[in-house]
A and B are shown apart, each in its own frame.
Chain A
Amino acid sequence: GEDVEQSLFLSVREGDSSVINCTYTDSSSTYLYWYKQEPGAGLQLLTYIFSNMDMKQDQRLTVLLNKKDKHLSLRIADTQTGDSAIYFCAESTDKLIFGTGTRLQVFP
């Protein structure tokens, strides 16, 4: 069945890089996504990668996709306190399946 897993917490110092990891099970996923949820709000799309790509860079964000291992990662360069949020990866087939979310805490 479909299952998307993430670690629950990540704590980084301001200015360092953050790497949030995700594993998924459905090899037929067409797109993989990263969403950000700030406190008390809904989710907002951060970035996505098509399943035939290995990497995508978008300003401070870098997405890496390892299809063989079904592993997706999101790297945030120069992490700021405003990046503190919950980050969800998601895979899409005929439905959109979300991971459990990783709470990123950035400390000064």
Chain B
Amino acid sequence: NAGVTQTPKFQVLKTGQSMTLQCAQDMNHEYMSWYRQDPGMGLRLIHYSVGAGITDQGEVPNGYNVSRSTTEDFPLRLLSAAPSQTSVYFCATSFGGPQETQYFGPGTRLLVL
């Protein structure tokens, strides 16, 4: 039982490059979400999903896409990376929704040059 896993742990991109941050969970959780963490700003919600096939926008969705084709996986895509997307990205999951205990992955540290 791995819990919530995120890959890669660390990534450097050049402006304009694309990449996908992976998030996987083996807890059969319906609710999955992506946050970015920036100094002095806490965690901000990017996108979330209440189940396979359903996604919705959070506070800061611009520049990011998500999909949820399976219960287990919730990838976050950056289509054209910008320096403003330099951040630490966390995936979080819960069984039923935002009102339940969130289980966080270890994070992906992204640097965009």
A residues touching B (Cβ–Cβ < 8 Å)? 4, 6, 8, 30-31, 35, 40-45, 48, 88, 92-101
Q: Are B104 and A42 in contact (CB under 8 A)?
A: yes
Chain A residues whose CB sits within 8 angstroms of the CB of B62 once the complex forms: none
Chain B residues whose CB sits within 8 angstroms of the CB of A30 once the complex forms: 99
Nearest-CB residue, chain B, relative to A43: B104
Q: How large is the interface on B (under 10, 10 to 19, 20 to 34, 35 or more residues)?
A: 20 to 34
CA distance A35 to B42 in the complex (A): 12
B residues touching A (Cβ–Cβ < 8 Å)? 4, 33, 35, 40-45, 48, 58-59, 90, 92, 98-99, 101-102, 104-107
Q: Are A96 and B106 in contact (CB under 8 A)?
A: no
Q: Are A42 and B98 in contact (CB under 8 A)?
A: no
CA distance A99 to B42 in the complex (A): 6
Q: List 20 A-B contacts (CB under 8 A).
A: A6-B42, A30-B99, A31-B99, A35-B102, A41-B107, A42-B4, A42-B92, A42-B105, A42-B107, A43-B43, A43-B102, A43-B104, A45-B102, A92-B98, A92-B99, A95-B58, A95-B98, A96-B45, A96-B92, A96-B102
CB distance from A2 to the nearest CB of B (A): 8
CB distance from B36 to the nearest CB of A (A): 11
Q: Are B42 and A88 in contact (CB under 8 A)?
A: yes
Q: Are A98 and B43 in contact (CB under 8 A)?
A: yes
Chain A residues whose CB sits within 8 angstroms of the CB of B41 once the complex forms: 100
Q: Are B42 and A98 in contact (CB under 8 A)?
A: yes
Chain B residues whose CB sits within 8 angstroms of the CB of A97 once the complex forms: 45, 59
Nearest-CB residue, chain A, relative to B105: A42
CA distance A8 to B40 in the complex (A): 7
Q: Are B40 and A98 in contact (CB under 8 A)?
A: no
